[in-house]
Structure 1
Amino acid sequence: MNQRALNLSLLLLSISLPLQAQTTIDPIETLGEIEILDPAAEALVDPDAKIERLATGFHWSEGPVWIAEGGFLVFSDVPRNTVFKWQDDEGLSIYLKPSGYTQSASREGESGSNGLAVDNQGRLILCQHGDHRVARMDAPTTAAEPKFITIAAEYQGKEFNSPNDLAIHSSGAIYFTDPPYGRIGAFKNTDRPLDYQGVYRVMPGEEPTLLTKKLRAPNGIALSPDEKTLYVAQSDSSNLIYMAYNVLDDGSIDEGRVLLDVTELGKQRPGSCDGLKVDTAGNLFATGPGGVLVISPEGKHLATIRTGDKIANCGFGEDGHTLYMTSNHDLCRVRVKAKGMGF
């Protein structure tokens, strides 16, 4: 049996939810469109670029991040408690299982990992919904028996809601959001130790610091290229906004400002303000209503990359000019002119 056939066999054995098996698309399909709203966008995205669907059958795909050492992408399927791997010459395979809930007792809901990132030493950092923590994958590890080291699991003695997404500062500090989507019942869960949704900063080995608790549903998070601005997406359908905060010398943030409000757009198109990434020029590639919104540092909506479905998150990979998108049940990608941070 060749490697791709073996990978697919393992995937078929792992299915526990009523959805078609995860599978590589062969031959790769193209879908969607690039919607240009401002001429400035054409320096960042080609209006004729082809959006490719690489794999399908996920329950809710999230958190794509490129692993430079090895040349492959990893991403979460949150309800399946699994991190998958995509590599051009191998297709799709399981990378980590479990990924976000490591207890023996059964659990429903969005228990797996969500946002993923690579720290300054090349190690995988995960927002783990089911374990209510930010953790680092301990290497070596296997898909069958992953080991994790806790970075942050509580604030002032109270367990986090469900860390959702994260951004890593050059100092090693981790900025992360903590909405309740990984809790059974989410916002309706009245047994949560924390009765608010926070944005935090933690230096590994130290206690977390609460930066703000003024957002009802903080979600995606990213730092500007100069690390002087922290961006946070809010996934509250009644107030869909991208916030921009000045990062102060001690790592804390100011009161912030609304960079872009897309609440009205959210009434017309599917999808919410979710994950986001930043290119080397400071433009945001932010998931939102209708797809991935390309937003200037000044907050102007320049273009939308549309797969035709809700997009949870995105991440740059390969040489920095490929944007991978976790689009609901699909994994997609598109070549762009912009270059992602870190490449």
Structure 2
Amino acid sequence: MITWLNWLSPILVLLTGSISASYAQASKPIITLEQIDPQFSNIVSKTANAVIIADGFEWSEGPLWVERHKMFLFSDVKKNIIYKWTKEKGKEVYLKPSGYTGSVPRGGELGSNGLGLNMKGQLVICQDGARAVSVMNAPLDKPKAKFIKIASNYKGKKFDSPNDLAFLSNGDIYFTDPPYGLEKNVNDPLKEAPYQGVYKISKDGKIVLLTDTITRPNGIAFFPGGKTILIANSDPEKPYWYAYDLDKNGLFTHGRIFYNAKAATKTADGMPDGLKIDKQGNVFATGPGGIWVFNRKAKLLGKIRVNDLASNCSLSADEKTMYVTSNHRVLMIHLR
């Protein structure tokens, strides 16, 4: 039987560049705005709108806008691929494999996850399957699956699955290491460390454990100035965002809960996950129901509710556009 959605689908594809496989999603707005504080409308316009720019992924993650090449990169963690999206050509395979390069077949989250650019403009990749943080040994505009591992273990114990990363202006790289890339999670026989860690890769290559007390460390970002860092905890028992100040050596001090999302997890799907912080110190954090917007003092200003699980987000250079990895889809949101 031909339904109204069957004949409307081609029209929606033309309008959005893609269409979700879910009829339920197609019948709902991609995003809705929830203003909690008047400041919200200064950050997210009341006329903000979203379009689906790519679809058909198993689990999209690791969004990165690359201003120099006007391209948006993101990972499909389960397909072991980094994709590229441009306005001119849409979705293209950028790098495959992106994480796991072994010859023994395996399942789970075997590809890349978080992506970023170091001070040299090189692509730095959290490789879930390879259990390492690596640099792509090729120019950004001529990608090749050649990697230089810059962190693969701490004191001889392999990482579980580096997930997301943040950069200090001095060249240090901070990253989270949850168990999600291991096929059996925390019960995987290949797990070597008895904790989940947040680490620093110093510019001299030294690996430093910053904390082993966050149960499921995930998204990570610095506030402007690089003196405070925010970390998401994707744990149903402790769905918190944590903040830490940095001492003169770049180590964590004054750890505290930035915001507790426990109540929201009872009424909306999702956990604190990926996040970004803009130049003004406003936080865009994926969490239960969509993207939570905070000021730097942890005041919740509002939410961009997404009709699917949002995993992470990235801002354009002018911070007027946000790219969101959302389960099987990627969204472009015009904030203002």
User: If the length of structure 1 is used for normalisation, what is the TM-score?
Assistant: 0.88
Q: How does 1:114-263 map to 2 (within 5 A)?
A: 114-140=113-139, 145-263=144-262
For these two proteins, the number of residue pairs brought into alignment is 314
The code of the aligned residue for 1:225 comes to: P
Write the distance in 2 (CA, Å) between the matches of 1:49 and 1:319. Answer: 15
Q: Which residue of 2 aligns with 1:104?
A: 103
Deviations 1:155-197 (A, max 9, x none): 0011001000000111110000001100011122244111100
- State the SS of the aligned residue for 2:64: strand
Q: Work out whether 1:44 is the aligned partner of 2:43.
A: yes
Relative distance call for 1:144 and 1:200 in structure 2 (3 A) is closer
User: Is 1:272–1:289's contact at 8 Å kept on the other side of the alignment?
Assistant: yes
Q: Which runs of 5+ in 2 are unaligned?
A: 1-11, 18-28
The code of the aligned residue for 1:80 comes to: K
Superposed displacement of residue 69, structure 1: 1.9
The code of the aligned residue for 2:226 comes to: E
- State the SS of the aligned residue for 1:236: coil
Relative distance call for 1:115 and 1:144 in structure 2 (3 A) is closer
Runs of 4 or more above 3 Å deviation: 140-145
User: Is 1:291–1:310's contact at 8 Å kept on the other side of the alignment?
Assistant: yes
Relative distance call for 1:100 and 1:143 in structure 2 (3 A) is farther
Write the distance in 2 (CA, Å) between the matches of 1:182 and 1:92. Answer: 25
Q: Which runs of 5+ in 1 are unaligned?
A: 1-23, 338-343
Q: Which residue of 2 aligns with 1:35?
A: 34
Q: Which residue of 2 aligns with 1:3?
A: none
Write the distance in 1 (CA, Å) between the matches of 2:142 and 2:270. Answer: 31
The code of the aligned residue for 2:194 comes to: D
The code of the aligned residue for 1:28 comes to: T
Deviations 1:186-241 (A, max 9, x none): 12224411110000001244221000000110100000111010110000011110
Superposed displacement of residue 297, structure 1: 0.8
Write the distance in 2 (CA, Å) between the matches of 1:158 and 1:331. Answer: 35
Deviations 1:47-93 (A, max 9, x none): 22111111111100001001122100000000000000010111000
Write the distance in 1 (CA, Å) between the matches of 2:15 and 2:326. Answer: 19
Deviations 1:19-42 (A, max 9, x none): xxxxx9533176221211111111
The code of the aligned residue for 1:178 comes to: D
Write the distance in 1 (CA, Å) between the matches of 2:205 and 2:48. Answer: 45
User: Is 1:166–1:177's contact at 8 Å kept on the other side of the alignment?
Assistant: yes
Superposed displacement of residue 147, structure 1: 0.4
User: Is 2:324–2:330's contact at 8 Å kept on the other side of the alignment?
Assistant: yes
The code of the aligned residue for 1:223 comes to: F
Superposed displacement of residue 318, structure 1: 4.9
Relative distance call for 1:162 and 1:92 in structure 2 (3 A) is same
Q: Which residue of 2 aligns with 1:287?
A: 286
Q: Which residue of 1 aligns with 2:14?
A: 26
Q: Which residue of 1 aligns with 2:276?
A: 277
Write the distance in 2 (CA, Å) between the matches of 1:25 and 1:326. Answer: 18
- State the SS of the aligned residue for 1:127: strand
- State the SS of the aligned residue for 1:254: strand
Q: How does 1:90-101 map to 2 (within 5 A)?
A: 90-101=89-100
Q: Which residue of 2 aligns with 1:77?
A: 76
User: Is 1:96–1:142's contact at 8 Å kept on the other side of the alignment?
Assistant: no
User: Is 2:138–2:144's contact at 8 Å kept on the other side of the alignment?
Assistant: no
Superposed displacement of residue 267, structure 1: 1.2
The code of the aligned residue for 1:121 comes to: K
Write the distance in 2 (CA, Å) between the matches of 1:142 and 1:160. Answer: 30
Superposed displacement of residue 149, structure 1: 0.6
Write the distance in 1 (CA, Å) between the matches of 2:258 and 2:47. Answer: 28
